[in-house]
Structure 1
Amino acid sequence: MYKVFVNDKPLFLTNKISKETDFQLFLLESIDIKQLIVKIFQNKIQKAYLYHPDESEILKTLKTKIPVNKAGGGLVYNKKGEVLFIFRNGKWDLPKGGTEKGEDIEQTAMREVEEETGVNQLRVTNKLQKTYHVFKRNGIYKLKITHWFEMQSDFEGVPVGQLDEGIEKVAWINPNDIPDVLKNSYENIKLLFEEEKKINI
């Protein structure tokens, strides 16, 4: 099952019909995906399942209906085991950003971490999952697929937020404090920590 967050509300792409009742179920063959996304954005739908026997077919269809933005991001640890967070638009987030021409996705993730936080001496230690969310820019809906990497850094200076990206703060967060930080974060970021078993939320 894929979880795609639309305006921080879940749209599950699934090949199973469960017996839950607190969501609306739509069939891929009979739904206009664009209209469904608009309704979720307008808060007319809080949680939806999109069903097809082949999950990958749903994701493929979604990608044909909405332009895709590919991004790379980092879950970065320092020597003390603290995690690097950024604060922007009133929420805590992890550093990430779009790919540039000629880059592979790992290079994108490392460059974005360094640009957004000033933290360097990065090395990728693990490839994590991808997260999916739909956002709206200039009246156009886009699907952002973010490839996440676990990284270690020996950086010992003071991280500095990239102002032109609207980053107000950068902080190393102790693992014990991460559950509190995630209370004011995005669903995708919470999902990353949950799925990677990094923390109990």
Structure 2
Amino acid sequence: MQTIFVGNKPIILTSNFEKETNHKTFLLRTVNIGKVIKLLNQTDLKAVHLYDKDSENLLKRFLKLLPNTVAGGGKVFNDANEILFIYRNDKWDLPKGRAEAKESIEETAIREVEEETGVEGLKISKPLQTTYHIFKRNGKHRIKVTYWFEMTTNYSGKLKPQIKEGITKVQWLNKKESRQALEHSYANIRILI
């Protein structure tokens, strides 16, 4: 089972056919993804399930429905065990961004965290769950595939929000502050914290 978000509403890829309660189910092989996105955006429907009995290829088949954008990002901890957050578009988020040509996804994640926050001395400690969400750019829907990494740093310098990317704040948040920030965040970020 894999989850892709449209805003905060999930599209759940599944090979188990469940009775519809607070969701609608469509066959993955024949789905009109544009209609599914519209349904989630314009109704109070809680979720959509896309069903295919071939559990091995669910995600692969889904990713062919729309163009993909690959990104890398970080859940960064400092020496005080605080997490690095950015504030953009009235939401708390984790730093991330698009991969550039000839760059490994790990290099992307480190570069994007540095660019968006000013934090240096980043070390990847382990990979985290990959997230998927659908967004619209230039009138067309795309799937953002974000590879996340847990990182550490002993950086104690000034935090610098990347204003040209719409980031207005960068902050280290403790456990309690992180939980509060997640109330004003995205569903795909909540699953990482």
TM-score normalised by the chain length of structure 1: 0.91
Q: Does 1:46 align with 2:46?
A: yes
Spell out, residue by residue over 1:42-80, the C-alpha distance to the aligned partner (whole angstroms, 9 max, x if none).
336431111111234332222222000000000000000
| In 2, Cα distance between equivalents of 1:185 and 1:29 | 32
**Quick check: 1:5–1:188 contact (8 Å CA) kept in 2?**
yes
State the AA in 1 paired with 2:47.
K
Report the secondary structure of 1:57's partner residue: helix
Partner of 1:137: 137
Partner residue, 2:22: 22
Distance 1:29 1:94, change over 3 A: same
Checking the alignment, whether the CA contact within 8 Å between 2:75 and 2:94 is kept in structure 1 is yes
The CA deviation at 1:22 is 1.1
**CA distance in 2 between partners of 1:17 and 1:67 (Å):** 27
C-alpha separation between the residues in 2 aligned to 1:145 and 1:8? 16
Q: In structure 1, list runs of 5 or more residues that go unmatched.
A: 194-201
User: How much is the aligned-residue C-alpha RMSD, in angstroms?
Assistant: 1.4
- Percent identity of equivalent pairs: 46
Residue equivalent to 2:119: 119
Q: Which amino acid in the other structure matches residue 98 of structure 2?
A: G
SS of corresponding position for 1:129: coil
Unaligned runs of 5+ in 2: none
Give the whole-Å Cα distance in 1 for the aligned partners of 2:132 and 2:64. Answer: 15
What does residue 66 of structure 1 align with?
66
TM (normalized to structure 2)? 0.95
Report what 2:181 is aligned to: 181
Residue 191 of structure 1: aligned partner: 191
Count the aligned residue pairs.
193
Contact 1:134 1:143 (8 Å CA) reproduced: yes
SS in 1 for 2:39: helix
On the 8 A contact 1:4/1:12 being kept in 2, the answer is: yes
